[in-house]
Structure 1
Amino acid sequence: MVDLRKPSSPVTQRTRRRRAGGDCCCPPVKERLRESLAASPLQGADVLQWLVEPVGIDKFFKCYWANKPLCIKRHDDTYLKNIFSKQQLDSLLKDGLDGRDGGKSGRLQYQSNLIVRKYVDGEAVKYERSGEATFEEVDQKWRDGCTLQLMHPQQFVDPLWKICAKLEELFGCLVGANCYLTPAGTQGLAPHYDDVDVFIMQLEGSKVWRLYECVDGPLPREYSRDYQQHEIGNPILAVTLEPGDVMYFPRGFIHQAIAVGDTFSHHVTVSTYQRSSWADFMSKTVDTALNKLFDSDFAFRKSLPVGWSGYMGPAYDEDNGSGSDLPETKKRKRSSGEAATRATRQRLQHEFGRTYSKLLRRLSATLHINSMDLHEAANEFMIDFQVNRMAPYLPSSAKGAAAGRKRGEATSAEEMETEEMDAATMVAIANLKPSSRIRFRNPSWARMVFDEDQDTEAEGDRTPVILLFSTLKNDRAHHMDGEHTPDPSCLKFPRTEEHVRSLQMLFDWPIRPDGRGGPQQKGPWVHLRDLAFHNFQDAKAFAVALLAESLIDVDQGDK
């Protein structure tokens, strides 16, 4: 545990400033992020550093990430100030959501936005109510000792929108949030573990947290059932979080928490890395290999044996739980006919297993993955993230031409209509020349994918294309709610060497030696004359398409 009451030497203080990205001319990340919740475009690494300050993010990843808990006691109740409060929740219950900047609008709804629950005498109780959550009804439940769990507040709370969006850039996977408001002296949830890594930010009041070893091993893929107290043993960590404190722990650690003191407790849980293991990634490569084998090897196309469900399954697995430990008087005596049936079933099971093993060996022989297979698997893995991730944190005035256009099917460069673009974009296009420079505003907002044009498939001609998925029009109002089917937004380019190389030039942004942190800055500037196109008109059309999606900056000077 890191406790900031300990005195620091001047050398240690200078080290902390360097870790936070500050020096004599640059304020520490803490102050920069506080200001940035309204305006400043910090990187995801800055947001993580602000969360775990004074621990440097290199030390965090080396010692704590996916390994063990970290608790930071700040004794500074202003550190997390102005993120969200119970007073703001009460206002939302009374007045509703305004829907600004693409956020959720309307009234808070039970279950999808707000869950009311309590944990008393070892029993977890969830208030099974649907429909609109009114302030009067919720307040009565609050007075009765119920915990209020606010689901996905990043959909309408701007500071959490920014935190989640920036951490998604850093981690390359979905980041969500829930707020938990618990009356004094009560506990809202039973002991359990999660399938996500979490950052706990204590916003109001105090809460005693107890963490326990995962009974099912570290880093599980699924979240657990509720546990009884006698099942979990003694805690490995017990700590009181107060306003400004932050705690991190990996998925799998059993935890429970109770509000202490004279007032309620309010914390926000920021969670990430669900289904982001090596096994999850490798499942994509195995699926790809199986699809290729289905196309090329007739054995994989053959139908399963007719009647196979009559001899495969636990009900027919007599080698497992066959009753060998039962006394002789309890064992079943088989007739000659039953013995023959058993022999037939065992033979069919053996044949089924032999065929499966043979196909598995063929699959294994094809799993000599080359770089192209890995990149294809990476795209499969990342497309789901790209279309479901939070919309970038941008004020309405900074969203550009793409903000007002519909999401949906891919739009080709030739289909861009100039009337859809704002005045600044039109001016930028009019002034494009060979010496103009372009760069991605943020390379992580786009993902390049090779595909085949579905529009021509009906005619039997499948044309190779590049799809450039964009996050700028992603739906903030439904981020991670599971109730909305994303409608991906993407540009479509012909898959030519010129387009591939030109896009790769724009994606060539600097990365850290360890690969962490996402884009450390905007993409590199590239002159239109230096793109891979053979003539300026093609280079200009390429830039116009990217400008129309608000994906690039333009510098008209020749620098």
Structure 2
Amino acid sequence: MTALSRVVALDGDTFADAVWGREPLLSRAADLGGPGGFTGLLSPADVDELLSRRGLRTPFLRVARKGEVLPASRFTGGGGAGAEITDQVRDEDVMRLYADGATLVLQGLHRLWPPLIGFAGELGAELNRPLQVNAYLTPPDSQGFTTHYDTHDVFVLQVDGVKRWCVHPPVLAGPLEKQPWGGHADEVAATAAGEPALDVVLEPGDALYLPRGWLHSARALGGRTLHLTVGIRGLTRYALVEELMALAAADPALRTTLPFGLDVADPDAIAPELAATVAALRDWLSSADPAALAERLRDRVWPAARPAPISPLAQLDFADALSGTDEIIVRPGLRWQLTAAPDERVTLRAPGRELTFPSFCAPALRVALDGHAHPVAALPLPDQEDRLVLARRLLKEALLVPAGSG
């Protein structure tokens, strides 16, 4: 079972072609992993563990009541002797706020809770998108947030309890991150007062996909409810426009100073300059280099998703004791690119770093990073010592891990 098949009751191609970015999709537990399909990711007992024994700090916890986010000072304080921090979650305060009707939002769990770290890594790799995972614990018969929209697609995974979701069409199709719902609050409220496009009750094991921009609100029915929200950070064509405009700064015609004394508030005065600028921009765009654009997009996207965690001490011990029979594999979720460099060398790019190697290492690098486990002795280099040196360097750079360590 793939990560996507755990949250969508359609095959991947159908979901991509007919649903993704277009319309909501409800998938029932019976067509996924059953009522307990998501409890292995985060259970109510796990929430207690996080709130009381993990030294949780802000911003990993938000608390909301009646649509308003409460100040962190209401539920955080000093960590006690030996902990030089002032924003550690105080479990007794959280308990009182929750009992008084506040919703608890555990944020960034894709970096914090092991089962969700693994799940987020698998789903992010399938979607080829960075993502985030939050959990929402809502008290009985309560609503944490009023009707709103997100600027990213989401999967809602019902873990525990029962929750009613009302979903309305967008007031702004495909909103960008710089276009949050607060800027359209009146339109959102007016639309939310009408008939919903989807009015459903999510029970344990159910999943709901919402494209960005779709309005939604949720209320716990009966007892408490716990659900996960997986937010998918997608790129838009506007992102390409932003990067193209950054590259366009290299064009002298687009850096030309406007005429002396020009009244930029006068439409008639600005019209010829606008026409000349559009013409210059059109000329530049016709010769824009896809490779340069791809490089900027790489630097923009790669840092947004971290690869799978490593065990630093075990990793170093493995590298130091490495032998030809040991198996290595690329670190799950690692993004990399190998290109030719001057002076008979190759450059290996990964998030936050560039490494150079002699060009004869290129075939061995491609094998080591191809996503399959390989014994060190199988790397295509003529000398065993060279294989060990290369593998050790990649392990100590955290680009490879011991096979089976995940």
Short-chain TM bin: 0.7 to 0.9
C-alpha contact (below 8 Å) 1:209/1:258 kept by paired residues: yes
CA distances 1:524-555 after superposition (whole Å, capped 9, x unpaired)? 976225xxxxx999887655533443534899
CA distances 1:12-54 after superposition (whole Å, capped 9, x unpaired)? xxxxxxxxxxxxxxxxx2xxxxxxxxxxxxxxxx2112222x4
Please name the residue that 1:235 is paired with.
Answer: 196
CA–CA separation in structure 1 for the residues paired with 2:402 and 2:168: 53
Please name the residue that 2:137 is paired with.
Answer: 181
CA–CA separation in structure 2 for the residues paired with 1:541 and 1:57: 41
Q: TM-score, normalised by structure 1?
A: 0.59
CA distances 1:222-268 after superposition (whole Å, capped 9, x unpaired)? 3312566443321011111011111111111100111002x101101
Match of 1:108 among 42, 57, 73: 57
CA–CA separation in structure 2 for the residues paired with 1:497 and 1:234: 64
Alignment partner of 2:72: what SS? coil
Name the % identity: 22
Deviation at 1:155, TM superposition (A): 2.4
Deviates more, 1:210-219 or 1:136-145: 210-219
Q: Are positions 1:283 and 2:230 aligned together?
A: no
CA–CA separation in structure 1 for the residues paired with 2:313 and 2:388: 25
User: Partner letter of residue 159 of structure 1?
Assistant: P
Please name the residue that 1:70 is paired with.
Answer: 25
Deviation at 1:301, TM superposition (A): 3.7
CA–CA separation in structure 2 for the residues paired with 1:205 and 1:352: 60
Q: Are positions 1:266 and 2:226 aligned together?
A: yes
User: Partner letter of residue 232 of structure 2?
Assistant: T
C-alpha contact (below 8 Å) 1:154/1:164 kept by paired residues: yes
Structure 1 residues 188 and 375: CA distance shift in structure 2, 3 A: same
CA–CA separation in structure 1 for the residues paired with 2:209 and 2:68: 27
Q: Are positions 1:374 and 2:227 aligned together?
A: no
Deviation at 1:205, TM superposition (A): 0.4
C-alpha contact (below 8 Å) 2:331/2:401 kept by paired residues: no
Please name the residue that 1:247 is paired with.
Answer: 208
Unaligned runs of 5+ in 2: 74-86
Please name the residue that 1:190 is paired with.
Answer: 146
**Which protein is bigger by CA-based radius of gyration?**
1
CA–CA separation in structure 2 for the residues paired with 1:58 and 1:504: 32
Matches within 5 A, 1:27-426: 29=1, 46-52=2-8, 54-75=9-30, 76-95=34-53, 97=54, 106-109=55-58, 112-119=59-66, 124-130=67-73, 131-218=87-174, 220-221=176-177, 222-225=179-182, 226=185, 229-232=189-192, 233-261=194-222, 263-274=223-234, 276-288=235-247, 290-293=248-251, 297=252, 299-304=253-258, 311-312=263-264, 316=265, 346=266, 350-369=268-287, 373-393=289-309, 400-401=315-316, 422-426=317-321
Deviation at 1:444, TM superposition (A): 5.1
CA–CA separation in structure 2 for the residues paired with 1:292 and 1:502: 36
CA–CA separation in structure 2 for the residues paired with 1:132 and 1:352: 55
CA–CA separation in structure 1 for the residues paired with 2:255 and 2:360: 39
Deviation at 1:81, TM superposition (A): 1.8
CA distances 1:364-419 after superposition (whole Å, capped 9, x unpaired)? 2132357xx32332232122332331331556677x24xxxxxxxxxxxxxxxxxx
CA distances 1:450-476 after superposition (whole Å, capped 9, x unpaired)? 7999xxxxxxxxx998653446xxxxx
Q: Are positions 1:528 and 2:391 aligned together?
A: no
Structure 1 residues 350 and 467: CA distance shift in structure 2, 3 A: farther
Please name the residue that 1:416 is paired with.
Answer: none
Please name the residue that 1:445 is paired with.
Answer: 334
Structure with the higher fraction of residues in strand conformation: 2
CA–CA separation in structure 2 for the residues paired with 1:237 and 1:539: 58
Q: TM-score, normalised by structure 2?
A: 0.79
CA–CA separation in structure 2 for the residues paired with 1:503 and 1:278: 36
RMSD over aligned Cα, in angstroms?
Answer: 3.7
Alignment partner of 1:427: what SS? coil
Deviation at 1:506, TM superposition (A): 4.3
Structure 1 residues 393 and 546: CA distance shift in structure 2, 3 A: closer
